[in-house]
Structure 1
Amino acid sequence: MNTITTHWRKQLRNTARPAYLLLAELIADDIKTGRLGVRDRLPTLRELAADLELNYTTVARGYAEARKRGLIDSRAGTGTFIRSGSPSLRLRGGSGAEMTMNMPPEPDDEHLMARLHDSASRAFAQADLHDLLRYQDFGGTAHDREAAMHWLRPFVPDAGIDRILVCPGIHGVLTALFSQLARPGELICVESLTYPGVKAIAAQLGVQLHALQLDDDGPIADAFEHACRTLKPKALYCNPTLLNPTAGTVSRARREALADVALRYAVPIIEDDAYGMLPRQTPAAIATLAPGLTYYVSGFSKCFGAGLRSAYVCSPTVVQSQRLAGAMRATTVMASPITNALTALWVEDGTAEAMLQAVRSESMARQALAARHLGSSGLQAHPEGFHAWLPLTPGWSPVEFASYLRTQNVGVVASAAFSTDGDPPEAVRICLGGPMSREQCDQALRLIADTLAHPLHPHATLRGG
């Protein structure tokens, strides 16, 4: 009998707790105190049952409980080993490693938070509250649209106030554009991996999605041209900067090629640049390459906070902007004047830029953690973004990997959620933002890395080769 099992035997003798539960707790305690370390081999079930004077079934239940808690890993032919010292993490509501919703990190900056509070107080102290509580024309006031023009000009230099609408969130803009550009049964081209909300919008409207395969430069232009020639799509939707989910950015040359095809076939482009503000350097917006066809969409949910439901869309022409305003008015009535007023103030007084810089800085710190823990596993990410794309080892399927992590209270999203061609790759998306702290993010990434390194878990899919 070794010293570890001697210690366990003494503990088991002095308690009335179920032995199998206590066994799992003893393993956890010994990991925390350093008596057991990662990769340490534990006795076999029969050996431990004999050492502890327990029956085989009780020890098997104890190991099963320890395995459920992510403490050990059993491999046929090699034995049972300590899996990781990383504890399972509580999810939102509990609250910690919720890595499914693609939300920006929340900077731990007291001065910035004080600035947000102060500016919000000033905004409402100076406002005519009756005016903010009335119906307004769709698209925001002239003041709101001037702030939007200021925010968009670095990306769309010719954005004019008469072509800009202030809207209640990017998702609502996309719904209106899909309904306006395509009728039920008609087709819109999208990336083969794309924002899941687009799939939901298309399903709701009865619009068909045609997947364009991706390479390192973005959607393949030849595939887009073939679709234009043979399928007559009504629009091209793309998320060209920090694509959700892969974090890839469409190259300048590929943007030019896609714009060229769209111009030759007169196909409108929906440029969803939700993440475009995060990188300090990006290729020219497609809206600058095909200005007469492109609806440029941006907002604050990915560079400020998901609760700031304010989006800006610059349409190709004044007439198209007016038509879009009519389509959106039918579904959303108007963007909240209160939200618009607050957003406009934060853009004008520099608070929005300060928040963007803080989100970018925190994202960079978390991406450094992700690179440290998962970089050797082929992680795809941008250093200034807050989501990452993780290819999986052959021992896991994406759904089972995500499901197993969920039992450890870490949430990630399997690739099927993003697939538009029915052939999702073996990968998951990880969000590094949201309400979790940097320390919780680090713990979750450690747990993900350890899970990836030990694929032969009872819930994993075993594959030959």
Structure 2
Amino acid sequence: MPRARYKTLVDRFAAQIASGELAPGTRLPTHRQLAVVEGLALATASRVYAELEAMGLVSGETGRGTFVREIALPLSHGVDQQTSVPGVLDLNFNYPTLPGQVELLRSGLRQLALSGDLEALLRYQPHAGRSHERACMARHLAARGVVIQAEEVVIVSGAQHGLAVTVMALLKPGDVVAVDALTYSGFKVVADAHRLELIAIPYADDGPDLNALEKLCQRRRIKAVYTMPTLHNPMGWVMDLPWREHLVRIARQHGLLLIEDAAYAFLADNPPAPLKALAPELTVYVSGFSKNVATGLRVGYVVAPLQWVSALERAIRATIWNTPGVMTSLVCGWIEDGTVARLEAEKRFDARARQTLARELLIGLNVISHPASYFLWVQLPEDARADQVAMELLANKVAVSTAEPFATSSVIPRGIRLALGSPDLDALRVALQEVRRAVGRYVY
């Protein structure tokens, strides 16, 4: 088929969607129907829809068809659209803070200013962090079941930077990484920037299907698995010990690198052993202090086998040169005096209170969550479209995220993620009531 004809058809659909002639939610002809009506090859009809989907104009749902998207909603609404809109209740982003944290920062900075080590913070730091601060991080991790040497810790500018450094140091463009079919959107951004191929691991209600992962390993040359076994974002799973041991067996059999993201792990009481404890030779453990202390600190860490540390240091040098000295010193002071442990305990309590409120207000909806998580997943009914629900909520001053930023498979689940950690409890109540109303009308 001549390119001009193919492009003309794409442009025609795009114009009809932009003008409103094809309204949001409109079901388009099947690929086969489009091929017959337009006199196209089936592969060409599929290509037309694929391009429209890449443009953010339509979305395909297995077993239901292709639908016009709500184009007033950003394609990746909301997790990579971090904006503060006056009057909008934000259920997109988690930046949980507790009363008194501003005064805590003021006091911490005052103590730092009086320390004898202040002059050293004006100079370049070692790429992986100062040795006593790496030792401090190692002691902090020991309480989580990650018993390591200080030399295995590299300090980074937040967990997101830790993921980027790990990818830069240990993977190369074109490598295949297995990820959950719904996964942390920030890793998708890193993978795209470094031209990794992500392959989706299907999941059931209780977590990723490792039997499916084994089959994927037999068909594809997978280099790594990115996983969140303790408080998965967005689903809230905490995988049990047999699941973790199964994953370790697969990794050892196929020589896989395990990238363990533990950003929210502090919220889970007494979880099973981390992958880093079960397979220290294969696992890179990444986390930070954004959620348990404050997002603005931008202090994180990567824990890796000693033979990989020099490569991680080179990646740090290539990105930020050295660790954030002032903030790292502040965080280490809070680790040593027990402040971090206290904040983690208080935030576990706070997260449970928010989950309890959500369960009360969202009764009757299909909700997946962990009782101490700062987020939850609302599975939408068959006749509800996530983009339209999100747009309706945004019109009523509540911002939520659809499944699109988290999805790694061609099938986008009908669901929305609610981040519970940002509004105060009164505002959260109002926002959840709006969610209940918007989704509930499809249920009752």
TM bucket normalised to smaller: 0.7 to 0.9
Q: How far is the alpha carbon of 1:96 from its aligned partner? A: 5.0
Q: Corresponding residue for 1:308?
A: 297
Alpha-carbon contact 1:387-1:431 (below 8 Å) kept: yes
Unaligned runs of 5+ in 2: 1-82
1:440 to 2:431 alignment: no
Q: How far is the alpha carbon of 1:226 from its aligned partner? A: 2.1
Deviations 1:373-403 (Å, cap 9, x if unpaired)? 1132121111211100011123421111111
Change (3 A) 1:384 1:127: farther
Q: How far is the alpha carbon of 1:95 from its aligned partner? A: 4.3
Q: 1:429 aligns with which of 395, 407, 417?
A: 417
Q: 2:89 aligns with which of 97, 112, 122?
A: 97
Deviates more, 1:217-226 or 1:359-368: 217-226
Specify the code of the residue in structure 1 equivalent to 2:90: E
Q: Corresponding residue for 1:56?
A: none
Q: Corresponding residue for 1:399?
A: 387
Q: Corresponding residue for 2:183?
A: 194
1:454 to 2:441 alignment: yes
SS in 2 for 1:313: strand
Q: How far is the alpha carbon of 1:307 from its aligned partner? A: 1.0
Specify the code of the residue in structure 2 equivalent to 1:201: V
Q: 2:278 aligns with which of 289, 307, 313?
A: 289
Specify the code of the residue in structure 2 equivalent to 1:448: V
In structure 2, what is the Cα distance between the partners aligned to 1:178 and 1:336? 20
Mapping for residues 139-158 of structure 1, pairs under 5 Å: 139-158=128-147
Deviations 1:118-160 (Å, cap 9, x if unpaired)? 2331122114333101111111111211110111112344211
In structure 2, what is the Cα distance between the partners aligned to 1:247 and 1:284? 17
SS in 2 for 1:296: strand
Q: Corresponding residue for 1:107?
A: 98
Deviates more, 1:387-396 or 1:346-355: 387-396
Mapping for residues 254-265 of structure 1, pairs under 5 Å: 254-265=243-254
Q: How far is the alpha carbon of 1:311 from its aligned partner? A: 0.8
Change (3 A) 1:349 1:242: same
Specify the code of the residue in structure 2 equivalent to 1:441: L
Alpha-carbon contact 2:162-2:287 (below 8 Å) kept: no
Alpha-carbon contact 2:138-2:153 (below 8 Å) kept: yes
SS in 2 for 1:281: coil
In structure 2, what is the Cα distance between the partners aligned to 1:351 and 1:179? 33
Alpha-carbon contact 1:217-1:251 (below 8 Å) kept: no
SS in 2 for 1:126: coil
Q: 2:264 aligns with which of 267, 271, 275?
A: 275
Alpha-carbon contact 2:348-2:372 (below 8 Å) kept: yes
Q: 1:129 aligns with which of 96, 104, 118?
A: 118
Q: How far is the alpha carbon of 1:279 from its aligned partner? A: 1.2
1:234 to 2:226 alignment: no
In structure 2, what is the Cα distance between the partners aligned to 1:227 and 1:124? 54
Specify the code of the residue in structure 2 equivalent to 1:428: I
In structure 1, what is the Cα distance between the partners aligned to 2:283 and 2:140? 18
Specify the code of the residue in structure 2 equivalent to 1:445: L
Change (3 A) 1:323 1:266: same
Alpha-carbon contact 1:387-1:430 (below 8 Å) kept: yes
Q: How far is the alpha carbon of 1:113 from its aligned partner? A: 4.7
Q: 1:374 aligns with which of 342, 348, 362?
A: 362
Q: How far is the alpha carbon of 1:246 from its aligned partner? A: 1.1
Specify the code of the residue in structure 2 equivalent to 1:347: I
Alpha-carbon contact 1:218-1:254 (below 8 Å) kept: no
1:204 to 2:193 alignment: yes
Q: How far is the alpha carbon of 1:267 from its aligned partner? A: 0.8
Q: Corresponding residue for 2:372?
A: 384
Count of aligned pairs = 361
Specify the code of the residue in structure 1 equivalent to 2:240: S
Q: Corresponding residue for 1:409?
A: 397
Specify the code of the residue in structure 2 equivalent to 1:248: W
Deviations 1:32-81 (Å, cap 9, x if unpaired)? xxxxxxxxxxxxxxxxxxxxxxxxxxxxxxxxxxxxxxxxxxxxxxxxxx
Q: 1:339 aligns with which of 322, 327, 338?
A: 327
Specify the code of the residue in structure 1 equivalent to 2:230: T
Alpha-carbon contact 2:169-2:314 (below 8 Å) kept: no
Change (3 A) 1:95 1:139: farther
Q: How far is the alpha carbon of 1:94 from its aligned partner? A: 2.0
Specify the code of the residue in structure 2 equivalent to 1:336: P
Q: Corresponding residue for 1:244?
A: 233
Deviates more, 1:425-434 or 1:225-234: 225-234
Change (3 A) 1:217 1:287: farther
In structure 2, what is the Cα distance between the partners aligned to 1:348 and 1:310? 16
Deviations 1:98-119 (Å, cap 9, x if unpaired)? 111133x2223x4x55444323
Alpha-carbon contact 2:128-2:316 (below 8 Å) kept: no
Mapping for residues 20-99 of structure 1, pairs under 5 Å: 92-95=84-87, 97-99=89-91
TM-score by length of 2: 0.78
Q: How far is the alpha carbon of 1:251 from its aligned partner? A: 1.9
TM-score by length of 1: 0.75
Alpha-carbon contact 1:398-1:414 (below 8 Å) kept: yes
Alpha-carbon contact 1:181-1:234 (below 8 Å) kept: no
Sequence identity of aligned pairs in percent? 29
Instruction: Note the aligned Cα RMSD (angstroms).
Output: 1.7
SS in 1 for 2:408: coil
Q: 1:215 aligns with which of 194, 198, 204?
A: 204
Alpha-carbon contact 2:365-2:440 (below 8 Å) kept: no
Specify the code of the residue in structure 2 equivalent to 1:321: V
SS in 2 for 1:269: strand
Q: Corresponding residue for 1:321?
A: 309
In structure 1, what is the Cα distance between the partners aligned to 2:321 and 2:218? 37
Q: How far is the alpha carbon of 1:180 from its aligned partner? A: 2.7
